[in-house]
Amino acid sequence: MNLSCLLCYQASPAPVCHWCEDDIFFFDERLHGSNLLHYGPVAGHVKHSHYDALSVLGLHTWPMSSLVHQLKFTHSLTAGKVLSHWFVHKKRQCTLTVPHLLLPVPISAWRLATRHYNQAAVLSHQLSYTFGIPIDHQWARRQGLSVQHHLSRVARAENASRVFHLSASCIDHSIKALGHKKNGRDLTVAIVDDVLTTGVTVNTLSKQLKMRYPKITVQVWAAAFTPPPKSSLFQYA
Domain locations in the chain? 26-235
To 10 degrees, what angle do helices 64-73 and 77-93 make?
Answer: 130
Mean pLDDT of 216-225: 98
Sequence length of the chain is 237
Mean pLDDT of 30-45: 96
Pairing of strands 217-225, 188-196: parallel
Partnered with residue 217 across adjacent β-strands are 188
pLDDT in tens, 5-19: 999 999 999 999 999
CA distances from 176 to 144, 179, 221 (A): 31, 5, 24
State residue 37 phi and psi, 5-degree precision: -70, -10
> Side-chain half-sphere of 110: how many Cα atoms within 13 Å?
5
Domain 26-235, CATH number (from 3.30.450, 1.10.10, 1.10.3470, 3.40.50): 3.40.50
State residue 225 phi and psi, 5-degree precision: -115, 130
pLDDT in tens, 102-140: 999 999 999 999 999 999 999 999 999 999 999 999 999
pLDDT at 149 over 60: no
Q: How far apart are alpha carbons 145 and 134 in whole angstroms?
A: 28
CB distance 19 to 184 below 8 Å: no
Per-residue confidence (pLDDT) for residue 118, from 0 to 100:
97
